Structure 1
């Protein structure tokens, strides 16, 4: 199976192309253990997360699913959506000014390719109500949930902001002096955040310069978090610590964040770059996690039935559709492809696809 690896300020992702419906249902709804294996930096490829580019359900150009390194699904990821947009531009040869509408669990996100190769993303308006984030913190004087989080013997002043996913911002005087791992791990799982949370420790350098250290939900310490940078700017602005536009410095580099209208969207501008393309070895593809080849096998579409059901939850004890099992059908198509296609042919298919994408990337960069 072919994949691409992209990074945004060191926050790296594996991307699987499935916009034409060519991915098996076993890939589009993957086993969390398989995601953890792929993202493992010693036993797999290594990444902070897995991004699936899928056909859109509605009017959007495509749908994005993003799985954290621990196998859990995230509602949205700012660096991830920039990486996906860069992947789309590289794959399709898009020119500056192109805007994609990408459906996510946090709603439709619209990144735009800039003339300098960076991506400006309309992240939508922030969520400032406790129930929308979610958090049990109550709305404070700043207009968003705030309060004290007790971590061991420490009492931390915190502010919560939602960007389609939950974030907590913790202002500190010195980022290097805090017990980062202990506080980050504890706050991610703190009872104040029933769905867990991303954690950002904030040091203010000036009204237009913020610096944060990131502890991501489901991933731990990372070099960058796009939605976290947006949440930090919103929190700092509401607290009166910065202006409505500022540079947010992360361990992997800076992002430009602006929130000009407190009723409007947050805009994030930053880079995303290709790292490499590759093909997963058979050892990383279990029998239950295989891909159909778009060149040889038609996409698998579930057949309609009067009594629809979810295989993952309804077929735990026994198959409810043994005479027409979608899982068996998918596995049989994969086995037929593997048995009837030589290794040289598979490598040629992968090589041709990689060559086309690489050529498109060089042609774009030379313009």
Structure 2
């Protein structure tokens, strides 16, 4: 049975799967888009704006994150998602405030830190403003911000593009409720001005330290929050002269604190991430392969096995001991376990570890 956790950041919710030990099967680590859509479906699956995998690092990071949108596409980064991942790591490992993680993402190394109040502060790195890095076909203005105008739905829209490891377009408007939000969001997401598509944020400026946005996320549509979008919005607002370098960005799901004090440096985002529930996936929801979602990882069973022998690596050109194949024995044991153990028993086994994890989290937070 594959364990998972559900977390949300300002209503932007994710299914999180632990895989730092390297034991997840390839069908989970590199999931089929149809399976991602299936488990993210709110009626027929687990429900979520995306799937997040915590994986072993490939470089200098402590771990690696892969995040998949609800439509099955892979995202480069997600601000709310990485806050949820950080909180998940802290809850899983019993970490205290001050703990930070170096997390590898397709957008580069991102470093979240657990704060005293339980919120997560994230060094999101420097924004990308060169058009080819966003990417966008808009041209930079005198401040280096890609800008332009388009006509859509009978309106003339001013656009500003910012990259935060993923593409964003910020659209200042006078009234967030009056705009045809869904029509404009869907059109701008796929506009040819944005070769990799884009996240879309409609911005209402209430004051130089008070910004409000409505979010249309690439691959997900309307969502309650977008952390990278809040960062991109502040950067665009600063360069357009609409905002101070630090402001509260209010999203439909709640506020985020965003700071960009050094225009050559990182954007910092601080906001909440909350555990919703832990669970185990029904085998019917699993992709093809082992029902527990784990890769077969046979271990030496007898002293006759050569020291340090690892058939996953040593037998790439063919089995080196066909008379005693460790992989076949391990798979046979798994099949025997599955055949002899009821679904209720497997759920109880998984539930025991989930219950212990939840109790540890409560005790650490001083609630129990």
TM-score by length of 1: 0.89
Q: Which has the larger radius of gyration?
A: 2
Deviations 1:150-201 (A, max 9, x none): 3254331100000000000000011011000000000000000010000000
Question: 1:192-203 to 2 correspondence within 5 Å?
Answer: 192-203=193-204
On the 8 A contact 1:16/1:52 being kept in 2, the answer is yes
Match of 2:231 in 1: 230
Task: Give the aligned partner of residue 365 of structure 1.
Answer: 365
**Structure 1 residue 336 displacement after superposition:** 5.4
Alignment partner, residue 91 of structure 1: 92
Name the counterpart of 1:208: 209
Distance of 1:349 and 1:147 partners within structure 2: 57
2:325: which partner in 1?
Answer: none
Q: Return the alpha-carbon distance in structure 2 between the equivalents of residues 7 and 229 of structure 1.
A: 16
Matched with 2:257 is 256
Alpha-carbon distance in structure 2 between the residues aligned to 1:233 and 1:118: 20
* Aligned partners of 1:297 and 1:333 also within 8 Å: no
Does the aligned pair in 1 maintain the 2:25–2:295 contact within 8 Å? Answer: no
Q: Show the 5 A alignment for 1:38-49.
A: 38-49=39-50
Which deviates more from structure 2 when the two are superposed, residues 294-303 or residues 8-17? Answer: 294-303
Query: In the alignment, is the contact (CA less than 8 A) between 1:288 and 1:331 conserved in 2?
Result: no
Distance 1:154-1:102 versus aligned 2 partners, 3 A rule = same
Secondary structure at 1:177 match in 2:
coil
- Distance in 2 of aligned mates of 1:151 and 1:330: 60
In the alignment, is the contact (CA less than 8 A) between 2:153 and 2:184 conserved in 1? no
How far apart in 1 are the matches of 2:311 and 2:65? 19
Q: Which 10-residue stretch deviates more, 287-296 or 141-150? A: 287-296
- Helix, strand or coil: the match of 1:229? helix
Contact 2:28 2:293 in 1 (8 A): no
Distance in 1, Cα, partners of 2:221 & 2:314 = 40
1:86-108 Cα deviation digits (max 9, x unpaired) = 00000000000001011000001
* SS of aligned partner of 2:100: coil
Which consecutive segments of 4 or more residues in structure 1 shift more than 4 A?
Answer: 292-306, 328-337
Unaligned runs of 5+ in 1: 307-327
- In the aligned structure 1, how far is the partner of 2:227 from the partner of 2:105? 15
Change (3 A) 1:197 1:292: closer
Offset at residue 284 of structure 1 (A): 1.1
Structure 1 residue 356: deviation in Å?
A: 1.8
Equivalent-residue separation in structure 2 for 1:330 and 1:27 (angstroms): 20
Judging changes above 3 Å, is the alpha-carbon distance between structure 1 residues 110 and 174 closer, same or farther for their aligned structure 2 residues?
same
Q: Describe the shift of the 1:293–1:159 C-alpha distance in structure 2 as closer, same or farther (beyond 3 A).
A: closer
Q: What is the CA distance between 1:360 and its match in structure 2? A: 1.3
C-alpha RMSD over aligned residues: 2.5
Residue of structure 1 in register with 2:13 after alignment: 12
Query: Displacement of 1:5 after TM fit?
Result: 0.1
Change (3 A) 1:331 1:80: farther
Q: How big is the shift at 1:344?
A: 4.5
Q: Residue 182 of structure 1 aligns with which residue? A: 183
Match of 2:307 in 1: none
Cα offset, 1:338, TM superposition: 2.5
Distance (whole Å) between structure 1 residues aligned to residue 131 and residue 238 of structure 2? 18
Is residue 352 from structure 1 mapped to residue 352 from structure 2 by the alignment?
Answer: yes
Structure 2: unaligned runs, 5 residues or longer = 300-309, 318-327
| 1:164 alignment partner in structure 2 | 165
Which residue of structure 2 lines up, in the alignment, with residue 112 of structure 1?
113
Distance in 2 of aligned mates of 1:341 and 1:296: 20
Q: Distance in 1 between matches of 2:279 and 2:70?
A: 19
SS in 2 for 1:156: strand
Q: Alpha-carbon deviations, 1:81-134, whole Å to 9, x = none?
A: 000000000000000000101100000100000000000000000000000010
- Match of residue 131 from structure 2: 130
Aligned-residue offset at 1:283: 1.8
What is the rounded CA distance, in whole Å, between the counterparts of 1:242 and 1:50 in structure 2? 33
Deviation at 1:335, TM superposition (A): 4.5
